[in-house]
Amino acid sequence: MKEKVKYKDIGLMDYKEAWDYQTRVHNVIKDKKLKNRSLAKEDKAQLDRNHHLIFCQHHPVYTLGKSGSADHLLLNNIELEEKGFSYYKINRGGDITYHGPGQLVAYPIFDLDWFFHDVHKYVRLLEEVIIKTLDSYELRASRIEGYTGVWFKGSNVLPKRKICAIGVHMSRWVTLHGLAFNINPDLSHFNNIVPCGINDADKIVTSLSHELEREIDFLKVSKKVKYYFSEVFDFEYA
């Protein structure tokens, strides 16, 4: 039997509000696991599993992961306020990134006890969701060794281009945070940071609309990503 995942699109939301929301969901799952840890294996198999997939967009914000450097934010507090950006240090992996309107942020809150125990595989499958979505637009994206996220490899005349950033956190094998997929965001906002701490001249940030050179139907892309989540992770929506 496939796992059941509850899906919710919470729309355009302040980052802190969305962070608090997913943290509450995350804590409920962890608390239930703690209460049930003394059950026998056959009894645990009968438990209602609790998985969630949350989609949203954020008001312009920069977030810094626990392994990142604050020096990668190129604005001071006054400039952040003047330009209307929020800034948060958070508990995901990775360095600094930008979230804003036109970017699809996906927060899978999965209890991996019912999927697999492999952090590396989890990140690779998140990448695969976006790779398959891009493939549906006849865009061939891939991974670059040594870097997380989804990239276009570039050529002699084009740089390597990152279209999706990934940063995750796990506690008791329950996932938190997720991916940020650039569909129609304002790419100039990435100029205020060293995106993901990568300062290589041959690597830049891109978006689906930039690659296709046209405005993209955000809702249509979102539906594709939702579909490929269920295909790649092999679950059904509740």
Distances (CA, A) of 85 to 6, 27, 206: 31, 28, 20
Dig out the tokens for 58 from the structure: 């954020």
| E-state strands within the chain | 3-13, 52-58, 61-64, 86-89, 96-99, 103-109, 142-144, 147-152, 160-171, 174-182, 203-205, 235-237
Catalytic residue among 196, 205, 225, 232: 196
Which residues share a beta bridge with 205?
162
The Cα 59–Cα 199 span in angstroms is 25
The question of whether 196 is a catalytic residue gets the answer yes
Q: Is 192 helix (H, G, I), strand (E, B) or coil?
A: helix
Q: Which residues does the annotation mark as catalytic?
A: 196
